Amino acid sequence: MSDSSLNQVRQAQQWAQQQGLEALDADLLLTFVLDKSRTWLFTWPERELSDDQQHRFEDLVRRRLAGEPVAHILGTREFWSLPFKVNASTLIPRPDTETLVEAILSRFDQPSLRVADMGTGTGAIALALASERPGWSISAFDVQPDAVALAQENAHQLGLPVTVGQSHWCDTLADHSLDLLVSNPPYIAADDVHLQQGDVRFEPRSALVAAEDGLADIRILIEQGRRVLAPGGWLFLEHGWTQGKAVRACFESQGYGSVATVQDMGNRDRVSFGQWSL
């Protein structure tokens, strides 16, 4: 693409798409190289790229065509209209997980709640909740030190008062200390063919895969919720779109009430929840 006949914004976009890149990905990489917005690209399609910008864009296009996630290339991903730093140590925040945030916010408007987000990764869920409910006392935990550091950095950059710590699920939490427990745990079965496709090839397997057909960590959290939730507290879990029935059954077998499932934007089971009462 470094040919001088291909040095304009429009030509760069067209070239990237001719290589097999989706238009959105091409635009995101180009805005990153130029430090401009997508609106700027559409407004100034004839603006020229320098030789250095062309070479950088070519390199990023090659990385994306090799399968590397755009979020890893750019180092950021938007979630709940907030910019999150991302890296290969955690899952990339996804729109489906906004269903979990929406489900919580639509049901709880109390000025004060004690909340913990387990397996927080980038901190996306906890920080999205903190941005909407400033009076809540929110903590976020992950077992991986790199994820803890990343979530702490995101909390600092966003200026949101979320406490981040290290824990293997609820092991370090006190008994009956929470009003709301929330998690997007690993829930993909080890033999799922999707693990060999798309962005998940570049994400940590430990954040994706769980034993027992993807339900092992969900079962641990439902069991541990009985200890850490105060009477009347709630547990909200994201899960795979085929797992709603099994997750609801697990909640009910552990004595939770008011068990229900919420569907995502594609009308697929995505979030299940239940209330614990001694």
DSSP string for 120-170: -TTTHHHHHHHHH-TTSEEEEEESSHHHHHHHHHHHHHHT--EEEEE-STT
**22-33 residue pLDDT tens:** 888 999 999 888
Share of the chain above pLDDT 90, in %: 54
Q: Is the pLDDT of residue 198 over 70?
A: no
Q: What is the pLDDT of residue 202?
A: 52
Q: Is residue 217 part of a domain?
A: yes
Tell me the CA distances in angstroms from 237 to 38, 119, 204, 247, one per residue in order.
35, 11, 20, 9
Same domain, 11 and 111: no
DSSP string for 63-100: HHHTT--HHHHHSEEEETTEEEE--TTSPPP-HHHHHH
Q: Is residue 132 part of a domain?
A: yes
Give 159's strand partners.
Answer: none
Same domain, 95 and 54: no
Q: How many domains does the chain have?
A: 2
Q: Is the pTM of this model over 0.75?
A: yes
Average pLDDT over residues 4-16: 78
Q: What is the pLDDT of residue 150?
A: 95
Average pLDDT over residues 269-276: 95
Do residues 73 and 128 touch, judged by C-beta distance below 8 A? no
Same domain, 98 and 177: yes
Range of the domain at 222: 87-276
Q: Is residue 169 part of a domain?
A: yes
The number of CA neighbours under 13 Å toward the Cβ of 144 is: 17
Same domain, 51 and 130: no
Same domain, 257 and 122: yes
Please report which helix (H) or strand (E) contains residue 263, including its range.
strand 257-263
Q: Is residue 74 part of a domain?
A: no
Tell me the CA distances in angstroms from 117 to 79, 100, 220, 221, one per residue in order.
16, 11, 14, 11
Same domain, 110 and 200: yes
Q: Is residue 13 part of a domain?
A: yes
User: What is the number of other CB atoms lying within 10 angstroms of the CB of residue 188?
Assistant: 18
Q: What is the pLDDT of residue 87?
A: 85
Give the length of the chain.
278
Do residues 78 and 124 touch, judged by C-beta distance below 8 A? no
Same domain, 119 and 33: no
Tell me the CA distances in angstroms from 90 to 57, 136, 150, 160, 202, one per residue in order.
25, 25, 9, 20, 10
Q: Is residue 76 part of a domain?
A: no
Q: Is the pLDDT of residue 108 over 90?
A: yes
